[in-house]
Amino acid sequence: MTGKLMDLLRYGCSMAAAVGGRMLALNRGMGRWALFFADGLRHIFTWPWQGDKILQQIYFIGYKSMPIVLLTSAFTGMVLGLQGYYTLVKFGSEGMLGAAVALSIIREMGPVFTAIMVVARAGSAMAAEIGVMRISEQIDALETMDILPVRYLFSPRLAAALVSIPLLTAIFDVVGILGGYVTGSLLLGISPGTYFARVESSVELHDVFGGFLKAANFAIMVVTICCYHGFYTHLRSDGFGARGVGMSTTSAVVTSCVVVLIADYILTSFLI
């Protein structure tokens, strides 16, 4: 009896130790993440200003992501128009389609889908590139040259994302509303005047501001998470070398997407 009790106690203790270890590791990771972000943010403003690198990253994150954002926004707007029409028509309110599409896109889908598209296209590439630099000692080489790796690798990407993602969100919003117009008006016969009048009357500055606030927050989160995972590839316990870079890239993409959705809920709770 005593032996069984001791076994149970030992099992309980080892479980508690495992959970405690996990929590401590999570805590350390969060602390390192916060310091990484603070350091990167600070170095955006330190002299000499890295304008050329920021422009290069705006080109990579912003301009090169435009085709995928245009495509997803057009089809998101079109499918919203389609679904919205057949839902609203049941209540005889199909005239409200413009308002439904515009508010859904500006408040929620624009910032969230844009952030997820940037994660998929640019965030994964950042994590992989920085991860390869870590395992091939290129980041150590920067340190030996007295070049601050966080400033050189992360700060320009952070600044570029803060510019690019809100602008991409704006493009997503406009194209998405036009997509809703294509299905609602051109295919299903709602008057274009009614569609755009509802868009104009329902959308307030508060909605647009909320959407951009979300976009800026998502920009910070996704770029910091993706660069962080690449930068600390060497600290992973579940994979080394090329496998470690692969795992870091996967973690960066999955974590970014999950964090975007959680943050979206929290921000919406405050903005609504």
Partner 1 sequence: MTVMRTPLIQFDQVFKSFGGKSVLQGVDLEIFAGETTTIIGKSGIGKSVLLKHIIGLLAPDSGRVLFDGRPLAQMSGSQLRAIKTQCSYMFQNSALFDSLTVFENIALPLKERRLAKGAGLSARVRSTMAQLDIAEIENNYPAQLSGGMKKRVALARALVTEPSIVLFDEPTTGLDPVRKNAVHRMIAEHQHRFGFTGIMVSHEIPDVFHISQRIAMLEGGRIIFQGACRELQTSQHPAIRAFIDNTAVKERIA
Note the residues at the interface with partner 1 (CB under 8 A): 48, 129, 132-133, 136-138, 140-141, 143-147, 152
Spatial distance between the Cα atoms of 81 and 76, rounded to a whole number of angstroms: 9
What is the nearest approach in angstroms of partner 1 to the Cβ of residue 271?
40
Length reported for the chain: 272
Helix, strand or coil, per DSSP, at residue 4: helix
**Least Cβ distance, residue 56 to partner 1 (angstroms):** 11
Nearer to partner 1, 140 or 204 (CB): 140
Measure the CA–CA gap between 191 and 111, rounded to whole angstroms.
28
CB of 157 or CB of 214, closer to partner 1: 157
What minimum distance in Å lies between the beta carbon of 144 and partner 1? 4
Q: Nearest approach, Cβ of 247 to partner 1 (angstroms)? A: 19
CB of 165 to partner 1, least distance (A): 23
Concatenated DSSP letters for 121-190?
A: IIIHHHHHHHHHHHHTTHHHHHHHTT--HIIIIIHHHHHHHHHHHHHHHHHHHHHHHHHHHIIIIIIT--
Structure tokens at 181: 């117009």
Nearer to partner 1, 128 or 219 (CB): 128
Task: Give the nearer residue to partner 1 in terms of CB position, either 37 or 60.
Answer: 60
Strand, coil or helix: 240: coil
Tokens 């406009």 locate to 174
Q: Which is nearer to partner 1, 69 or 132 (CB)?
A: 132
